[in-house]
Amino acid sequence: MSDLILFWHRRDLRISDNTGLAAARQRSQKVVGVFCLDPNILERDDVAPVRVTYMIGCLQQLQQRYAQIGSQLLILQGEPREAIPALATALSAKAVFWNWDVEPYSQVRDRTVIESLKEKGIQVLEENWDQILHSPDDIFTGSNQPYTVFTPFWRNWSSKPKAAPADTLKDVEGLSEQELQTAKQAGAIALPTAKDLGFKWENGLVIEPGEAAAQERLEQFCHRAIEEYKEQRNFPANDGTSQLSAALKFGAIGIRTVWAATVEVMENTRSDEAQTSIRAWQQELAWREFYQHAMYHFPELEQGAYRQQFKNFPYENNEEYFQAWCEGRTGYPIVDAAMRQMNNIGWMHNRCRMIVANFLTKDLLIDPRLGEKYFYQRLIDGDLSANNGGWQWSASSGMDPKPIRIFNPASQAQKFDPEGEYIREWLLELRSFDTEELLSGNISKRDRAAVDYPDPIVDHKIQQRQFKLIYQQQRGDSVNS
């Protein structure tokens, strides 16, 4: 009889191209999955109902995948440091394997689980990376330090060979009926719905959960859009990006599979333009890793600004302004359209994420941590490292060096939504206005009142001057806009 290995899934909700799972299968034929609904995560006040709904959908699909190959995915609910060792002990598991994570909470949690398992004589697989192409300890500067600037990171990271996708789990043995009973006694439960867990999301999912849907999305994107990515990626009204972020966050797709797909399209195209686009998309995957490595090496990023002059920045934090920003009622059409997109579907285009984050921090003078949390409460793809990196980049408080960027909402709209399609899609009350009015925001008080659309809550020109002044007082640096 084979030894039982439990594989603890966390943000790798798939059986294909999963490095830890493939390692478990190499060790034994009897591999059973487990997922733990962790109150330390689910009871935080920044959990997005849409994200939990997507995650539960991925877990449903994963249970089906395990059933198809003759094994099971068990669900636990409780403190991982108690629930995982209790299940492993009850089932006399030889080992518990899982993939490593960069997030500060995961690092602490995993150490307590390892301790508890080792005390019970159960083996673990340590330091196994799966969700990134290179371990954070593999990409260092010449002086052996973590990178704090993206471009040299990218040069180093992109020059390194990438691993091929890991073997898909197959030919496995699951638990017997009797062992399943034991698992239940040790805490295994039926998979709850998001609603059972107290999360209400009624707007449907714009991104279909699960491994098969993620694979299909990747194929579709690589079939066509990736070759036009550089051109299309900045226009929120167009379907020019992959929308793979939720799948990458929860690991519904393996990063090696994603990378291999980009290499394949690169090999099959001779057009310089297409190759530049594919490279641009690969670079986004590198940004994702840059932020994950940064979170691993500098866990204090979770608490706030990286740059010294932003650590005590005197943000005004006007509550009414913050509320208006959250609701998409600032009176700036491109900002409001973007916020309503996120509030409605739980996803926002990258260009718009940059616009609204810039607006909150530079025009409304509100602490980026408030915006970061609001995003996390709403996004289907909410990810600590990417969200923190995006907010710090937009607030100019992060690792990227000067210049300080101040976006003008009207110029952004004119450049990236030139027909006003995106604004019209999300601001129904402004649908019949002229494009010029939508883009510039030059709409009379009377016209605004007639459709119950607010006046601008601040004046961009005044606010940007104010921001620059405060910034210069803090440090005396120059500011570009």
Ligand X SMILES: Cc1cc2nc3c(=O)[nH]c(=O)nc-3n(C[C@H](O)[C@H](O)[C@H](O)COP(=O)(O)OP(=O)(O)OC[C@H]3O[C@@H](n4cnc5c(N)ncnc54)[C@H](O)[C@@H]3O)c2cc1C
Report the nearest approach of ligand X to the CB of residue 161 (Å): 20
For residues 467 and 406, the answer to whether their CB atoms sit within 8 Å is: yes
**Residues 281-300: x/- map of binding to ligand X (CB under 6 A)?**
---xx-xx--x---------
Q: Which residues pair with 34 in a beta bridge?
A: 8, 74
- Nearest-approach distance from CB 329 to ligand X, in angstroms: 20
Q: How many chain residues interact with ligand X (CB under 6 A)?
A: 28
Is 216 annotated among the ligand-binding residues? no
133 to 162: interface string for ligand X, x by CB under 6 A: ------------------------------
Is 12 known to sit in a ligand binding site?
A: no
Cβ-proximal residues to 227 (8 Å cutoff; 6+ apart), any chain = 265, 269, 271, 273, 274, 277, 278
Q: How many CA atoms lie within 13 A of 142 on its CB side?
A: 2
Q: Which of 242, 277, 377, 396 binds ligand X (CB under 6 A)?
A: 242
Q: Nearest-CA neighbor of 467 among 393, 372, 359, 335?
A: 359
How far is the C-alpha of 244 from the C-alpha of 231, rounded, in Å? 18
Whole-number minimum distance, CB 336 to ligand X, in Å? 16
Least Å distance, CB 179 to ligand X, is 38
381 is in an annotated binding site: yes
CB nearer to ligand X: give 100 or 347. 347
CA pair distance 260, 133, nearest whole angstrom: 11
Token pair for 165: 């996708």
Residue 333, preceding bond cis, omega within 30 degrees? no
- Nearer to ligand X (CB atom), residue 35 or residue 359: 359
Q: Is 157 annotated to bind ligand?
A: no
The C-alpha atoms of residue 103 and residue 210 are separated, in whole angstroms, by 23
Say whether 287 counts as a known binding-site residue. Answer: yes
Nearest residue relative to ligand X (C-beta): 390
C-beta of 4: minimal distance to ligand X in Å? 34
Positions in 182-241 near ligand X (CB under 6 A): 233, 241
Smallest separation, CB 365 to ligand X (Å): 17
C-beta atoms surrounding 149 within 10 Å: 12
Sites for ligand X among residues 425-464 (CB under 6 A): none
Tell me if 245 is assigned to a ligand binding site. yes
Q: Specify the residue, 91 or 354, whose C-beta has the smaller distance to ligand X.
A: 354
Handedness of CA 270, 272, 274, 279 (dihedral sign): positive
Q: How far is CA 64 from CA 61, 69, 72, 73, 100, in A?
A: 5, 9, 8, 9, 24
What lies within 8 Å, CB to CB, of 51 at 6+ separation is 246, 346, 379, 380, 381, 382
Report CA torsion sign: 63, 65, 66, 70.
positive
Residue 466: both structure tokens together: 């104010």
Alpha helices in 298-417 (DSSP H): 319-327, 333-345, 350-358, 368-378, 384-395, 409-416
Tokens 């972020």 map to which residue? 245
Residue 229 annotated as part of some ligand binding site: yes
Is residue 119 part of an annotated ligand binding site? no
Is 244 annotated to bind ligand? yes
350-409 positions binding ligand X, by CB under 6 A: 350, 353-354, 357, 375, 379, 381-383, 386-387, 389-391, 394
**Pairing state between β 123-124 and 95-97:** parallel
Q: Does 102 contact ligand X by CB under 6 A? A: no
CB closer to ligand X, 7 vs 467:
467
- Among positions 247-286, residues that touch ligand X (CB under 6 A) are 248-249, 284-285
Whichever of 19 and 245 has its CB closer to ligand X, that residue is 245
Say if residue 105 carries a ligand binding annotation: no
In the bound state with ligand X, the residue whose beta carbon lies nearer, of 61 and 241, is 241
- DSSP E strands in 250-289: the ranges are none
Tell whether residue 290 is among the known ligand binding residues.
yes
Select 350 or 466, whichever has its Cβ closest to ligand X.
350
Share of the chain residues as helix, strand and coil, in percent rounded to the nearest 5: 55, 5, 40
- Please check if 383 is assigned to a binding site: yes
Residues at the binding site are 229, 241-245, 281, 284-291, 381-383
Point out which residues bind ligand X (CB under 6 A).
Answer: 233, 241-245, 248-249, 284-285, 287-288, 291, 350, 353-354, 357, 375, 379, 381-383, 386-387, 389-391, 394
Binding residues for FAD: 229, 241-245, 281, 284-291, 381-383
